[in-house]
Each structure stands twice: as structure tokens, then as C-alpha cells.
Structure 1
Amino acid sequence: MLIFYAIFLSLILSLGSAYSTLSDDTLKNLPSPGDDFHIKQGSILAPILIPRVSGTEGNAAVLRHFVDFFKTHLPKWNLEFHNSTSTTPTSNGKQIPFVNLIATRDPPGAQVGEVGRLALVAHYDSKLTPTGFIGATDSAAPCAMLLHLARNIDAALTKKWGAMAAEGIDELDEQKGVQILLLDGEEAFQSWTDTDSLYGSRALASDWERSFHPAMSTYRTPLDSISLFVLLDLLGASSPNVPSYFKTTHWAYKNMAAIEHRLRELGIFKSSPNHSSKMEKRKNKKPRAEPHFLVDAEKGDKMFMGGFVQDDHVPFMARGVEILHLIPTPFPRVWHEMDDDGDHLDMDTVEDWTRLVTAFAGEWMELEGFFDFKKEKRKESYEKTEL
């Protein structure tokens, strides 16, 4: 037993501790979305900025965009469709289809039921009314953030798992994967009720609860495999105020808040009043008070009162899944208004959220030392030349 422990300890130490923060250099060099988030021509964001009510051609077009993105840029991710149907208060008895897309990246050779996953989640449908509603913050921008995140961490995951295999510790180290859930049918068709909302997430959570992994698996069901369910919603407006909603995941909220603080200290957050781009335009160069997106980092245990915002996490939370909900309170001014469109996104804030959530995923997956920024920059340069 002592010999086994010594071997195990030496192997684990060779790749660092169980949880590793990203270095300042890594935070500084995480690629920005750049032109990919241009609201008219951007290859990631622009195709989502259309009306995409569940069951419509716009909804199907956005789903095809997601699939094409993964198949083109991230072929190592496993894609699954989860299909369900339901009548709605406006469908006159007709069954409306709802399609969730599940993109998963697990370690090579991982067995079913043996991987705990970080689930990163957003809904991609838009509201039926007002007619022509886009829903840029709700939730086109969050979907784009997750696509960019997946592309940013993909090569680092490959490099890390290759290093683990070379060290021979893939069976001893805790196996962790990443799952991106792009959910359909979050919006109510008429008015928000328990049955007129969350169509896709309710169906998925119910099915996953009843889908059992092989006997003796570490995780009994796909729900059990979710180590943390991080839901992004209503993100992209300026000056968001995002509370910590749940006591049991306040530790994860604090980890993300610590990353935000570091990004601001490093001068990377573009929405900051003290970012170099803002300072150059001001006559008074004196630093201003630094606002934060995640405002509850110092929240004490006794301050959790049990309130939360109804959203796609609810069916999962009801089944015991741990939730980190990234949604501002109060909601953005444009919430459910026609001007929740690309023109009213604050792109500095969109980019800051993208970098923050990407860094959180990078720390969760212990990717420090596995990013190859020179290679990424060469690839970006080549792609622009080809265009």
C-alpha cells in the first residue's frame, strides 16, 4: 500500500495539483473573439442574431450553425441531439419540436459513466413576441461565448490528455470532461408558467434522470455526471450585476470572482473604466472605482435567503445538480424588448464575459501550461489570409 501511494503521489505531482489557477501570462494571452463576434459578418455571433423561435426555420438554421461550427473546428467533440415535442398555448394543439444540442469532450478512451463533467449551458431559442425579437443578450451572445470557449480550450485539452497518457496516469487521475448544452425552448410562448417555459431543459433533465449508466459506474446517470452546471443568460449588456444565488456553489462563484479580479488588475477587462482604451480618451487620468460583474464574492453564509431566478437550471437543480447561475439582477434594460439586438450589445462586456468564462473553464480543467498561443496566433493569421 505504501509503495502504491508513493507511485500515485509522484505521478500526480508531475502534472501539478488537483486544481491549478491560470498564470498571468495565460490570462493575458487567451484569444479574444475579435471579428468572430462582429454583429453583421462575425462567423460565430452573426448567424445567431436572427429570430429563432422553437419550431421555426430560424431556430433550425441556428442549430445547423452550431453543428457546422463543431464539425468544422472541433471534430473531437461528440455531438448528440436530444429531441422532444410539446404543445404550447399558441400552437392550437400542434406538437412543436424542441432540439437540444449536447457537445461533449471527454478524455480519450473514457468509459461511459466514469467522467465527471463541467456543463456550460445557454438557451438558443428566442421569444415569440414581440414579432421579430432577436434576443441578443437572451441568449445569442451567451451561445457565442460558449462556442468561442470550446474552440479556445480544445487544443489545450488534447495536449493535457496526451501528457497524462505519456505519464501513464490517465487511470489514476480523476477523469474530467467538458459538456456544452445548447438548449431549446426556454422562452414562454404566452406567459411564464411551469408548463409554458423550459421545454427543452425539462425534457432533457427528465430523460437523463432515467438513463442509467452501466452497473458499477462511478456516475449512475448523465445527471450524476454533471459536477457543476454553469448557466449563462442575459449577458452582453453593460454594467451587469450578477449575485451569488446558491450557497452550495458559492465556492465556484468565488473562484470565478477571483479570476475577474485578476483580469481587472492586469488591465485586460475592456469594459473597465480603467482599461487603457478608456484612459486614453479621458483628460483626467486618475483611476476610477473598479466595478465588478460578480458582486458577491464576500457574501457570507447567513446572507443566502433562498431566492433565485427561474431559468433552464431549475429542472436540473430539482434533481440535485449543483448550479452556478450567471444572470444579472436586475435584468438588462433591453430584456424582452425589440432593442435586445446586436446593435445594443456592449461588445466590450461581451468580450470580457467570454474571457472570464473561458478562464474559469481553463482552471476547472487544469489547463495551465497546455495552451499554445503561438500556434493559435499562426492559425488565426492563416485563416484570415485564406479569407
Structure 2
Amino acid sequence: MTPNSRACWVLSWCLPLIWIFGFTPIAQAYTPLSDDSLRSLPRPGNDFDIHKGTLLAPILRPRVPGSPGSRAVLEHFVKFFETTLPNWNIEFQNSTSKTPVTGNKEIPFVNLIASRDPPNVQPGNVGRLTVVAHYDSKFKPDGFIGATDSAAPCAIILHAIRSIDAALTKKWEVLKEDPAYELGLYDYQGIQIFLLDGEEAFGQWSETDSLYGARSLAEHLERTPHPALSTYKNPLEAIRLFVLLDLLGAKDPTVPSHFKTTHWAYQHMAVLESRLRKLGLFKSAKQPQKNGSKKKPQPVKPWFPDRLKHADDVFSPFGIEDDHVPFMKRGVDILHIIPSPFPDVWHRIEDDAEHLHPDTVEDWGTLITAFVAEWLDLEECLETDTLPSSRKGERSKTEL
């Protein structure tokens, strides 16, 4: 059967259903990753090494908006995409603002938006998983690095999208052969990342002295219309889930569930954490024993303790103020991955490379990769051929 005849056959089969039910897109499945797929997720190697790591080390420097350090980190991001993920689209959203400590000087803020959408689909018809971190560092104290806040989250995101890119390519190559895809009947899902500038206050945190980049970008996306008859009227509406990472990299984080509307996504993240631990794939969960010690290792507390919290339980109406706020005010669903309490080094000069916990940073990279792969339904496209045969075919039941 030729492609044209195949498309005609599917059209003849679909038209009665379309006439009855309307032009409802085919919802794409959310398939939990098998144990084999979790084991096959790429590990970062030395990418998170604080001295020579290709992803993290270049970010571990002061990067106040408008400074040479900020420009150097932005160049690092651009080079990463140009050399590693050339199929991704990169754009910048710029703004300027005065701040309470810089007088009449206009400070530039540069947001980087990188996206990858299904092939041959108009942007207005693509919903996007959006993964976000800020890359700027505080104005004071002088020399502040902000390793958890948020150099490590930026590197974790770069690792995750690089890890799923080949599987995403494979999935879309297969989908292009599906006549339903050709006919525009799919619920098209892409992915984008925001690396935001100007999250930190220059003086004292307020509505006007904070979230400079996020406020500008949210307004810009809302005011940028998609063509008439698009599925989503603007890029803001196309954000299906806004996953914000912040203050990650310290040992033993505790991440609460902030919002009722995304508690289901929080639970998926919690299930993945539990499964990765059970499979022995979390480095930070392995506690070294002292020679001759007969004491049993203490159980590690889960990072997502609200997993069993019911959706009808009381949730904070605001959560923690962060880059998600301008988007949440415009109706975007938010999954905020931020520890509470904050790391001990928060906003202190000690929030530097040496105070990161390397195994925890790597585990976050694995967990976020797994979550993104499940959201994009990549189970059948992840490469597992390199696993030992004795470990193939294992699948876990994932129950919330």
C-alpha cells in the first residue's frame, strides 16, 4: 500500500468517527518506563564534575545579569546546543530594567528558550512540556556562585534533554509513518526549556525587584499570537506543564507537593524516585559502611514525602515565590521542584561548588531524565540493547 492510499484508507475509516465526535486529537499514551529503560538511562559520567565537568563546571561562576560571567554562561549554553543538540531551535527573549541598586542604569536580562517540536507540525498545534531553571546569580555577596541556586539545576536540565534526544528522534521517525499523524489527528507534544535570567533580587525581594526575566517572558508569550485556528492561541497556552527546578544539589532534599492541580505529576515523580532507589540506581542512597560495623544502614528519607497525600488535602494557594509565579498567575500548571527547608547554604557565600553533593546532583539528573522520557512516551524508543540479557524483560508495576 502506498503512503497516499494508506492515508486515504485511514481517512475513510476516520471520517465517520470525526463526524460523530468532532475533531478530537488522538491522545498520546503515558507509558511508565520499564526497569530495563530505567537502567539504560544515560549517566552523566564527569559532566557534573565541579572542576572539569562539561555541563556544570562552566556555570560555576558569578553570573549577575549583564556581567561578563553571565555572558560567558549564556555562550556555554549556546555552544552546548550547537554541538550536541543541533536539531533544537534556540531563541532569546530580551528585556531591560532599572533595579533598586543600579540607579538609572538599564540592566539587560536575556532568557534562553530552546525547543524541539514534532516534525511537520505548526507550532500553534504543539503542546510542550516546559522544564525551567534560572541561570543568574545574586548581586551580593560579592563572588556569590549559587551552585544550588541554580547552576546545578541548569546542568541537570541539559543532561536530561541530551539523554532523551535520540529516543525522541526515533519516536518521531516512527510517527511520521502513521497516516493519522499525516492527517493531523495526534495530540502533538514537544518539549522546551527556559533558562531564565534575573530571578534574584538585586536589593530586597519584592514584586518589582525579582523575577525580571520570568515576568518579561510570561508577558511576551501571552502577547504573541499563534495563527488563527491553531490549537493553542499563544505560546503561553501551549505550556502543558511548567516544571521548575531550583535549589537542587544539596544532600537529602525534601520536596513538598505545592499545588493540587499538579499533584498527579508530583506523584509520578515520586514513583520514579522510589523505583530508581529499588533498582539501586540512586547513588546518594548507597550508604558506605565502616569496616567491622554491624549496624544496619539507616533508611534514606524519600525526596518526595507527599506522595501519599490525597489531592483533596489542603494545599498552599501560593507555594514558594519563584520564577513560576508570573506563569501561574496566567493559568499555567506548575510543578515546583524545590526543597523545603532550603539548603543550609541558601543565599550564603558557601553556596559554592564544594558544597554540592555530587551523588545527589547525579541522581537528580537521572530522575529528571526519567520523568521527561515518561512524559514524552519514549518507552519503546529508548536504547536497551546494551543491557545484560539476564536483566532484560523486567518490568515493574507502577502504582500511585
Q: Which residue of 2 aligns with 1:173?
A: 186
Change (3 A) 1:62 1:373: farther
Work out whether 1:112 is the aligned partner of 2:123: yes
Alignment partner of 2:356 out of 327, 332, 345: 345
Describe the superposition over 1:264-317 as per-residue Cα deviations: whole angstroms up to 9, x where unpaired. 111111111xx3x63586733745323111111111222324241000000000
Greater CA deviation, 247-256 or 296-305?
Answer: 296-305
Name the aligned partner's letter for residue 376 of structure 2: M
Name the aligned partner's letter for residue 153 of structure 1: I
CA distance in 2, matches of 1:157, 1:52: 32
Alignment partner of 2:32 out of 5, 21, 36: 21
Work out whether 1:92 is the aligned partner of 2:97: no
Larger Rg, first or second structure (1 or 2):
2
Alignment partner of 1:227 out of 225, 229, 240: 240
Alignment partner of 1:63 out of 64, 74, 82: 74
Change (3 A) 1:163 1:34: same
Are 1:112 and 1:214, in contact at CA under 8 Å, matched by a contact in 2? Answer: no
Distance apart, 1:363 and its partner CA = 0.2
Are 1:54 and 1:184, in contact at CA under 8 Å, matched by a contact in 2? Answer: yes
Are 2:27 and 2:187, in contact at CA under 8 Å, matched by a contact in 1? Answer: no
Are 1:27 and 1:359, in contact at CA under 8 Å, matched by a contact in 2? Answer: yes
Describe the superposition over 1:172-222 as per-residue Cα deviations: whole angstroms up to 9, x where unpaired. 221000001000000000110000000000000011111110011100011
Alignment partner of 1:299 out of 290, 309, 320: 309
Alignment partner of 1:365 out of 376, 382, 394: 376
Greater CA deviation, 161-170 or 107-116?
Answer: 161-170
CA distance in 2, matches of 1:281, 1:355: 30
CA distance in 2, matches of 1:91, 1:115: 40
- In structure 1, runs of 5+ residues without a counterpart are 9-14, 377-387
CA distance in 2, matches of 1:224, 1:345: 36
Describe the superposition over 1:70-105 as per-residue Cα deviations: whole angstroms up to 9, x where unpaired. 010000000000000001111120100000000000
Q: Which residue of 1 aligns with 2:294?
A: 284
Greater CA deviation, 277-286 or 252-261?
Answer: 277-286
Distance apart, 1:29 and its partner CA = 1.6
Change (3 A) 1:118 1:263: same
CA distance in 1, matches of 2:253, 2:16: 48
Match of 1:121, SS state, is strand
Name the aligned partner's letter for residue 3 of structure 1: W
Change (3 A) 1:123 1:305: closer
CA distance in 1, matches of 2:347, 2:120: 44
Match of 2:161, SS state, is helix
Match of 1:122, SS state, is strand
Q: Which residue of 2 aligns with 1:151?
A: 162
Change (3 A) 1:282 1:249: farther
Q: Which residue of 2 aligns with 1:248?
A: 261
CA distance in 1, matches of 2:16, 2:87: 34
Q: Which residue of 2 aligns with 1:73?
A: 84
Q: Which residue of 2 aligns with 1:208?
A: 221
CA distance in 1, matches of 2:382, 2:154: 23
Distance apart, 1:371 and its partner CA = 1.7
CA distance in 2, matches of 1:234, 1:174: 33
Name the aligned partner's letter for residue 327 of structure 2: F
CA distance in 1, matches of 2:73, 2:201: 19
Task: Kindly report which structure 2 residues correspond to 1:26-41, keeping only aligned pairs within 5 A, or say none.
Answer: 26-41=37-52
CA distance in 2, matches of 1:147, 1:347: 16
Change (3 A) 1:154 1:304: same
- In structure 2, runs of 5+ residues without a counterpart are 1-10, 19-25, 388-400
Name the aligned partner's letter for residue 293 of structure 1: W
Distance apart, 1:2 and its partner CA = 9.6
Distance apart, 1:28 and its partner CA = 1.1
Q: Which residue of 2 aligns with 1:317?
A: 328
Greater CA deviation, 48-57 or 366-375?
Answer: 366-375
Please give the TM-score of this superposition, normalised by the length of structure 1. Answer: 0.91
Work out whether 1:267 is the aligned partner of 2:277: no
Are 2:40 and 2:383, in contact at CA under 8 Å, matched by a contact in 1? Answer: no
Name the aligned partner's letter for residue 172 of structure 1: L
Please give the TM-score of this superposition, normalised by the length of structure 2. Answer: 0.88
Change (3 A) 1:176 1:2: same
Q: Which residue of 2 aligns with 1:52?
A: 63
Greater CA deviation, 17-26 or 361-370?
Answer: 17-26
Q: Which residue of 1 aligns with 2:5?
A: none
Change (3 A) 1:282 1:50: farther
Name the aligned partner's letter for residue 294 of structure 1: F
